[in-house]
Amino acid sequence: MAMEHRSSTFEFVTAEKVLSVLSYKLLIDAVERGLGLFSKSKSSSGQDANRSSVDQPVRTTVAVPNKGFLGCMPVYIEADELLVTKLVTFFPKNENVPTHNAVVAVFHANTGVPRAFLDGDTITTRRTAAASVVATKHLANGKPTVLAILGSGTQAASHYEAFCETFSSLKQVRVWNHKPERAKEFANKDERRHNCVACESVEDAVRGADVIVTVTSSSSPVLMAQWVKPGAHINGVGACRPEWAEIDPNLMRSAVVYVDSREGALQESGDVLLSKAEVYAEIGEVVNGTKTAHTDKTTVFKSLGMAVEDAVAAKIVLDELGL
pLDDT at 95 (0 to 100): 86
72 and 148 fall within a common domain? no
Full residue range of the structural domain in which residue 101 is found = 11-123+308-321
Question: What is the spatial distance between Cα 73 and Cα 86, in angstroms, rounded to a whole number?
Answer: 5
Task: Please report the pLDDT score of residue 44 as a whole number.
Answer: 32
Do residues 269 and 263 make contact, with C-beta atoms less than 8 angstroms apart?
A: no
DSSP state of 254: H
Same domain, 247 and 313: no
Residue 72, amino acid: C
Read off the CATH number of the domain in which 41 is found: 3.30.1780.10
Residue 250 lies in a domain: yes
Sign of CA dihedral 37, 41, 45, 49: negative
pLDDT of residue 7: 52
- The verdict on 279 and 228 lying in the same domain is yes
In order of 27, 143, 173, 272, 287, the CA distances from 269 in angstroms are 25, 29, 27, 5, 22
Note whether 109 and 228 are same-domain residues.
Answer: no
Q: Is residue 139 part of a domain?
A: yes
Is 130 part of a structural domain of the chain? Answer: no
- What confidence score (pLDDT) does residue 190 get? 64
Say yes or no: 139 and 215 in one domain: yes
**Do 275 and 317 reside in the same domain of the chain?**
no
User: CA 236 to CA 300: how far, in whole Å?
Assistant: 7
Residue 209 lies in a domain: yes
In degrees, rounded to 5, the angle at the alpha carbon of residue 261 between the alpha carbons of residues 258 and 265 is 80
Total domain count for the chain? 2
* Residues 156 and 92 both lie in one domain: no
Same domain, 228 and 250: yes
Instruction: Please check whether residue 84 is in contact with residue 75, taking contact to mean a CB–CB distance below 8 angstroms.
Output: yes
Q: Are residues 89 and 180 in the same domain?
A: no
Would residue 4 count as lying in a domain? no
Give residue-wise pLDDT tens across range 183-193.
999 999 866 76
Q: What is the CA radius of gyration of the chain?
A: 19
Let me know if residue 3 belongs to a domain.
no
134 pLDDT above the threshold of 80: yes
Taking the C-alpha atoms of residue 194 and residue 177, their distance in angstroms, rounded to an integer, is 19
* Residue 1 covered by a domain: no
Q: Quick one: pLDDT at residue 42? A: 44
pLDDT band at 3 (very low <50, low <70, confident <90, very high): very low
Q: Which of 161, 166, 164, 200 is nearest to 183 (CA)?
A: 200
Q: What is the CATH classification number for the domain harbouring 286?
A: 3.40.50.720
Instruction: Tell me if residue 59 falls in helix, strand or coil.
Output: coil
pLDDT of residue 99: 84
Q: How far is CA 63 from CA 71, 90, 169, 189, 245, in A?
A: 9, 10, 43, 36, 19
* Pairing between β-strand 68-77 and β-strand 60-64 as defined by DSSP bridges: antiparallel
| Residue 191 located in a structural domain | yes
Q: Which has the closest alpha carbon to 252: 298, 295, 290, 187?
A: 298
Q: How confident is the model at residue 93 (pLDDT cuts 50, 70, 90)?
A: confident
Q: What is the pTM of this model?
A: 0.92
Please indicate, yes or no, whether residues 224 and 264 belong to a single structural domain of this protein: yes
Which range is least confidently modeled, 23-32, 42-51, 105-114, 300-309? 42-51
Query: Same domain for 89 and 61?
Result: yes
pLDDT for position 299: 98
Same domain, 154 and 39: no
Mean of pLDDT values over 42-71: 75
